[in-house]
Amino acid sequence: MADELLTVAEVVIRLKVGRTKVYDLIRTRRLVSIKVDGCRRIPASAVGDFIAGQMERAA
């Protein structure tokens, strides 16, 4: 089954950070994203991977 694609606004809510921070994470390649007809989309698994990576770094 295909991974759920999230909008930037949905990622903002999930990570509880601002829109600018999400775009910064994308720009620095810390959060994987794709473009669909000019619209930025983030796979839900990429958000999970980002969180897991942050947890590992904190440990």
Q: What is the pLDDT of residues 2-22, one digit of tens each?
A: 689 999 999 999 999 999 999
pTM score: 0.89
Instruction: Render the burial of 26-40: b for 16+ CB within 10 Å, e for the rest.
Output: beeeebebeeeeeeb
DSSP structure class, residue 30: S
Kindly indicate the confidence band of residue 1, based on its pLDDT and cuts at 50, 70 and 90: low
> Torsions phi, psi of 20, nearest 5?
-60, -40
